Each structure stands twice: as C-alpha cells, then as structure tokens.
Amino acid sequence: MSRLTDKLRAQKRTALIPFITAGDPTPNLTVPLMHALVDAGADIIELGIPFSDPMADGPVIQRASERALAAGTRLSDVLKMVKTFREQNQTTPVVLMGYLNPIEIMGYKSFVKSAQAAKVDGVLTVDLPPEEASEFCTLLRSHAIAPIFLLAPTTTPERIKRICAQTDGYLYYVSLKGVTGSANLDVTSVAEKVAEIRQYTKLPIGVGFGIKDAEMAAQIAQISDAVIVGSAIVQRIETEPQDKLLETIPAFLRELRQAMDGMTSNV
Amino acid sequence: MLKTNQNNPISRTRVKICGITRPQDALVAAKLGADAIGLVFYQKSPRAVTVEQAQAIIQALPAFVTVVGLFVNAEPTFVHGILAQLPLELLQFHGEESPEDCQQFAKPYIKALRMRPDVDVQAFAKRYTNAKALLLDTYVQGIKGGTGTVFDWQQVPTHLSKPIIIAGGLTPENVSQAITTLTPYAVDVSGGVESAKGIKDAEKMSAFMRGVSMSNIKSFTHQETSLPDAHGHFGIYGGIFVPETLMQPLEELRQAYEHYLKNAAFLAELNDDLHNFVGRPSPLYHAARWSQHLGGAQIYLKREDLNHTGAHKINNTVGQALLAKRMGKNRIIAETGAGQHGVASATVAARFGMECVVYMGAEDVKRQAINVYRMRLLGAQVRTVESGSKTLKDALNEAMRDWVTHVDNTFYIIGTVAGPHPYPAMVRDFQAVIGRETRQQIKVLTGRLPDFLIACVGGGSNAMGLFYPFLDEQDIAMYGVEAAGDGLDTGHHAAPLCAGKPGVLHGNRTYLMSDQDGQIIETHSISAGLDYPGVGPEHAWLKDTGRVKYVAVTDDEALAAFHDLTRMEGIMPALESSHALAYCKKIAPTLDKDKIIVINLSGRGDKDIHTVATLEGIKI
C-alpha cells in the first residue's frame, strides 16, 4: 500500500489536508511553509502547480497562481520543491494538484519520472476526467503515484463507479457546485452524497471546496475521512505579512485541527 | 442514370401529398411546394374521390404540380373511363397489378410495393422495369394504403435500380428521419398531414414540408465526415477536459443537441428564425471589380456581414438559445472578445426573453466600448473580467466558473468551435448553414462548385461553417487564415496553428500558444476577434491531415485588404474577415480567370472604424 493510503487508514482521526500553491507568495517560502504545516497537524499536503488559466478556481487561488507565476515558478521548480521537502520529511504524503497543460507540455513520461524521483505520492489533475486519463493513469501507477480524481454533486452513480475504479489513495469530493473558495457549502447534502459514494468504494473520501473556517472543518470532519482546506489558507497567505507567514499559517491550521479533534474525540 | 440511394447534394426530396379530396387542400399543398398530389380512385378508401371532385381539384391547381391517379386492382375499363374524363399525368397502381396491367394505358406509372417481411425489393424492381419509381408502403393484412404505420426501413436495399418513394406512416415528426435514413427520391404522405380522413391540415402540411427541407440540408452534411467520435475526438484533438462538476451537464447537453438536431419541429423553428430573424440566406456576391483588379480568379464573397447584428456569430447563438429553451434553461451566459459574440448572445436573449450575462476581459471592455453599450441596451449584464491577461481567454475561464456555479438553470453559449464536446461539433453544425447555402448559390451563379475556399480563423467558427459542407470535395482547396499580428517571427501574433503546439485548454486538446512551461501566452492581433491563443480542435485535425492549409497574414496586410474592398466594392469588411481577403490578394493574381474563389466575409467592418482610424493617426 502507498504512503498515502497507509496514512489515511492507519490513523484514527480525520485527516487534515491543507492546500497551498507552490511558489506563492515566493518560491523560497514554499518548502518552509510545507514543514510548518506538517508541524501544525497536516496529514497530507496538496501542493498546487500554478497555471495561467485555472478555470476551476475562485479568485483567491487564481491570484495565488498569478503571484507564483510572476515569481517565475515553473512545473520543474514545483517538483524540485517536493524533492527538497523530502530531504527532511519522508513520511508526509504530498499530492500535486493542477491543470493538464503544463504536464502535457513537459510530457507525461518525463513528468512522471521526475515526480517519482521527488517522491510525489499522488497527482490530481483538475481538468482531466477519467475518460481522457487512461494513458496518464497507467504511467502514474507504474511509477507508484496515485491518480486522484474529483467527484462532484453532479456526478451520477455510473460515473461514481467508473471514477472509483480509476482512483488510488483517496477520492476528492467537491462539496458544492462552484469554484474553489465558494461560500455556499451545505453540510447535509455533502453528508448524503458522501454516504452515496461509500456504497461504491472502500477508498477514503476527502471533502474540499468551500471549507473556510474551523467550525465548518469540524462539521465536515464528522462525515469524511479527510478535510481539505485551500482558499481559506491561501487567502491568509495573500493578506498576512509575508515575514510572519511561517507563524500565522500554522496557527490557523492548528485552529482547524483542534476544532476537528474536539468534534471527533467523542466518537 | 440517377442512383436513387446515393446522395446527390443538389437533389431535393420530392413530396407527394396523397388522398386529397378538396380543392382548398390541393391549393395549400401546391403553395407549400408539394411536387405532386394524389387522387384516390378506389371506392373502398375513405379518401376516394368522384370524377366531379377530381375535376374541381385539378382545376384549382397551378402549373407544375403533377396529378397522380391511384388505382387498386381496377378494371381496365374503369381506368380508361377516368382517363377519358380527367387529365391524369401519372398512374399509381396499389394492388396486385402485373407489369402488363400497368403498361396497358400508355401512361407513365409508379408501382406500389407493400413491404411484407419477406419481400424481395430488388426482384420487384427488375420485374416492373418500366415503372418510373417504386412506392414502398407499409403492409398490413387486408388494408391497402393509408395504414398509418411505418414499415421497417432496414428492409430497403441500399442500391436499387429504380427511384424509391417512401410511404406509410410518414408525419412531420418522422419525415426527416426517413429522409436521412433512406435518402429516397420522394416521400408520400397522406394521413400524417390530416385533421380527419381526407381532410388535410394546413399547419401539418407546412410542418411536413419544413421537415423535408431541413432534412435535405442535413442529409448531405451527413456523409462528409464522421467526426468527432462518440467522445468528441477529432483524431487526437477535441475531447472533454473539464472539472468533474461539468461532466454531467455536458452529457445532458450532448444528448439534447443530438436529439434536437434530428427533430423536425426544432429544425423548423431554427430555420424559421434563421430566415425571418437573422435574414438568411445571405447573398453570395461576385466581387467583379476586385477580381478584375487582381487580374486572376473570380472572387465571390459569402455575405455573412449582412446578417442581423453584422456577423456570422448569430447563426450559432440562435441555435444554442433555441436549444437552451428546449432544455428549460432560462439564463444564458457567454464570453466575448471583440463583443460580436456577446452582442449576438444578448440579441437572442432579448429575442427569447432570457436572462443574459456576458463575460468580457477588462482590456476588451476598454477597446470595445460601443459593443459593451450595445449589449447593455439589449438588456444583458456585462461583467468585466480582471483576472489573468484580462482578455478573451480569461473571459472564457470566468464563464466556465459561472457555469460550474449555476449549472442548474444556466446554458453556456460558447461562441466558437472550441470548448469541450459537444461544443465544437454543435457550433460547427449551427454554422454549416454558411457552406450549405454557398454550395447551392455558387452552382446557380456559375454552374459548378468553387476551386478555393478562404476564411479567417480565430477560434474558427466561420471557417468551419464554410468548409464543413465541402470537406468531401477533394478538388476544392481550402485555406484558413490566422492572424500573424506583427509577424510570426516577432512572437506578437495569434496563430496557434501556424506557430503553436498541441496542448489542453478550455475543455479541449488543440493547437495552443503556450510557453515552454505550458502557460498560455498573450496573443496579439489588430483584430480582437482573432486574438485568442487556441483554435477549434477540428481545425487542428484538418491541419494535421492536410485537408485544409493554414496560413497567416499580418496586421498590415489585413489593413490593406480592408481598404481595398471598401474602395473597390463598397463593402467595408471586419478586420477579422480582412485577413481572409488579404490572403486572397496573394493567390488570386496567380490563378486563371476561370478559377473560382469563395471567401467568407464573416462580418462587417463598422465596429472597427475606430481601430483603423487610431492606427492611421486619425481622430474621429
């Protein structure tokens, strides 16, 4: 079993998965931030590959992409960051999350080789549905990297089955119809859909999009195997003073962790 | 000899309306364009007519409508008696008459064949060697004609030595399917257009005729290319590359599009709007002075600039808005660069009473203030996009984000042949009316098909619309003209096919302008409508197969062509279309005078006069 599934299976508590965009606000802060997130309770890290046209992202993560690109962050740099992170941390899984074009242009084979060398655990390509992904998935698997796919409120039972069959590691359930960082999450309908998905799979289910504070994280923690928080963190990276980010960001994560543990410790 | 089941693009399916009993019905049928009417001389039929009735009907008919007399196992003396009193032009034998029985009246005849399960159509055709055509009707035990049900169309052989007429259970709803499936010489309808037996309904006859004419248009686009495949691929291009939330809505859209593109009522409504609202057909104009000036080939302009709102864009927005209506979506969104597609979307939203939101990059809002105001006058909300490069590609991203968020009630009208499946195929099909009309018009004007087609390519919808109905004509050379901006070697251009490489953006795999890291780069063109880093996936495919040649002309060359056409023909072209004209200027002088070039004049240039004036240092 992969480091990714081990992590989610072995631990009793609901996992907390923070997302940050690689290179935001500057490339040299990314690895220190990753370590700080782990110290503050991150179980897995989702690292965003910046892209010029992030069509599934709300304004917060769009601007993070723009800052990272303006700072010169390239896909090869992102892979180097993971490699550097691994020098000190061999246990926390790292999942790359991004759009297909940079990976296509690098070439599937060289991307997968570099990702394996950097000990990337999983890859989630937002605009690559399973229908178009068979070649890429085969390559990822043969390099011990988990292909991770999204499930959405609009996903039909037939598609849930197909997507579960192509996914390793965990499933990422998009909690709402909208872009990242939206504010219309409905916990009841998320719970219903997660229950539906569980009929088709034994894979852990992470829930993301729209989890903006500790209270929401705690609620989602009760119904999922992992809580994924992106825009709420990236928003703070954007607004907090840059020289204090290694304190303010972990502090926010601890807040989420505590709220989640407080709710789940009674279970 | 005419092969019945092979598609001759210029042929049209004939229509016979049978079982007419009243002069007024005959008159309506003739007015709607029926080629023949049938009079039933078989007393057991509820639609039988007397000699007096028949005389009144024939008297009412205008010229050029064939009168067919229908008989069922009639005595020769009875038939002779009728022929002595009525000027019947064609006889139809609907019983068990032998070839000799049919021939004895020295009149042209057609023979009906009832389609029993074990029928041998080929043998029948050989036996009735003198019949003008075979009429295939449904077999129901004991009933001769007028059964009201269709037979199994799979029984009809694909190659037959006689023209076939399809009868039996045809209606306004299924006639286009019958024509698409069987490509018959003619269709025969009776009960399907009646309000009661023998009483024809004008509305139903009209709907039936619309079904026939639309399916004629469909049936000859049908065979040109089988692409895309079921998942929207044109070779390695196209496909569906979107976030999971949009997968199901795209599937619903695909199903609706495939359903309605074969639905006679939908096609009739679309056709009606293209005619009465858009103003189609657009003329095909011989630019004689410009041709003479260039000294070579004869140049014809397909005048899409004369459409309502001034460009080809409205062909597609009318189609998609009608589809949105059928799907129960009352909010439409669109992206726009120059504003032409935004205006076309706002226009149809006003026409159909829908809410409309248009996304437009902040840079374009500044450059195209008049179109922004135009959209607002039409009741649309224009949302300025401040992300990324603040141009068309970012407007497209923002429209996608809106769609993901409001997917339940919102229909996204993409303006070009790009995006996830089914958009590239759907927009092409809505724009293909350009090429279909051109085929007919050039034949009328010159007696033959053209030698060259030229169209500008941004996303590529006007080019696809012109090219598509000609793709199977291997003798016709096609040129797609991209924007070379300051020149392909300067990097300031918008020519992904000429200078880009394959990648994935906005839901499809296609040629893109991206940097070494796969980031989409900014484009440049004098023409806002061509200022886009991607291109429709079918163009990518046609480039790789070599079927279409893709070339590029610079801003300066386009601007010169803009002035040439304005001065020499009194037609002010859009700067987009001026790219196609500029390429024509390069090739026309090298060709013989009997060669024919058709250029898609995709839009008018009024919207560009500020750009042109500014470039030339003139203050208006």
CB B599 within 8 A of CB B579: no
Q: Does A101 touch chain B (CB under 8 A)?
A: yes
- Condensed to tens digits (0 to 9), the pLDDT of residues B72-99 reads 999 999 999 999 999 999 999 999 999 9
Distance CA B343, CA B371 (A): 7
In this prediction, residue B144 has a pLDDT band, given cuts at 50, 70 and 90, of low
**Residue bearing the bigger pLDDT, B160 or B580:** B580
- What is the tens place of the pLDDT at every residue in A5-49? 778 887 788 999 999 999 999 999 999 999 999 999 999 999 999
Q: Mean pLDDT, chain A, as a whole number? A: 94
3-state SS assignment for residue B418: coil
Name the class of domain A3-262: alpha beta
For residue B492, with 0-12 CB atoms within 10 Å meaning exposed, 13-18 middle and 19 or more buried, which class applies?
middle
The whole-number average pLDDT for the span B284-294 is 98
Q: How does pLDDT run across B540-569, given as a tens digit for each residue?
A: 999 999 999 999 999 999 999 999 999 999
B335 is catalytic: yes
Nearest to B504 among A56, A127, A159 (CB): A127
pLDDT reading at B148 higher than 90: no
- B387 and A66 within 8 Å at the Cβ level: the answer is yes
Question: What digits encode the pLDDT tens for the residues B414-465?
Answer: 999 999 999 999 999 999 999 999 998 998 899 899 999 999 999 999 999 9
pLDDT tens digits, residue range B213-240?
766 654 444 444 678 998 999 999 999 9
Taking a C-beta distance cutoff of 8 angstroms, is the pair B477, B297 a contact? no
Residue A163 sits at the chain B interface (C-beta within 8 Å): yes
For B115-139, how does the pLDDT look when each residue is reduced to its tens digit (9 = 90+)? 988 889 989 999 999 999 999 998 8
Given the residues A6, A24, A53, A57, select the one marked as catalytic: A57
Distance in Å, alpha carbon of B236 to nearest chain A alpha carbon: 11
Question: Measured between CB atoms, does A74 come within 8 Å of chain B?
Answer: yes
Residue A4's pLDDT band (cuts 50, 70, 90): confident
pLDDT band per the 50, 70, 90 thresholds, residue A89 = very high
For chain A, what is the radius of gyration of the CA atoms?
Answer: 17
pLDDT on residue B219? 46
- Which residues have C-beta within 8 Å of that of residue B413, sequence separation ≥ 6? B316, B317, B320, B321, B324, B332, B333, B334, B341, B345
Q: Using a CB-CB distance cutoff of 8 angstroms, which residues of chain B are in contact with residue A51?
A: 518-519
Q: Determine what percent of chain B is predicted with pLDDT higher than 70.
A: 95
Provide the number of CB pairs (under 8 Å) joining chain A to chain B: 128
Higher pLDDT, B11 or B528: B528
**Averaged confidence pLDDT in chain B:** 92
pLDDT bracket for residue B538 (50, 70, 90)? very high
- B71-80, B107-116, B206-215: least confident range: B206-215
* Secondary structure letter of residue B231 according to DSSP: T
On the question of pLDDT at A263 being above 70, the answer is no
What does the pLDDT look like over B38-66, one tens digit per residue? 999 999 999 999 999 999 999 999 999 99
Q: Which residues from B are below 8 Å from A150, CB to CB?
A: 243-245
Comparing CB atoms, the residue among A58, A75, A127 nearest residue B517 is A75
Name the residue ranges covered by the structural domains of chain A: 3-262
pLDDT at B146 over 80: no
Which residue from A minimizes the CA distance to B510?
Answer: A101
Predicted confidence at residue B69, as pLDDT, reads 97
Distance in angstroms (rounded) separating the CA atoms of residues A231 and A127:
18
Q: Between A62, A105, A179, which is nearest B503 by CB?
A: A105
pLDDT of residue A3: 82
Which residues of chain B approach chain A closer than 8 Å at the C-beta?
Answer: 231, 239-249, 387-389, 393-394, 396-397, 400-401, 404-408, 501-507, 509, 512, 514, 516-521
Q: Is A57 a catalytic residue?
A: yes
B560 CA: distance to closest CA in chain A (Å): 35
- Residue B11 is predicted with a pLDDT of 64
B14 in Cβ contact with B185 (< 8 Å) = yes
Global pTM?
Answer: 0.79
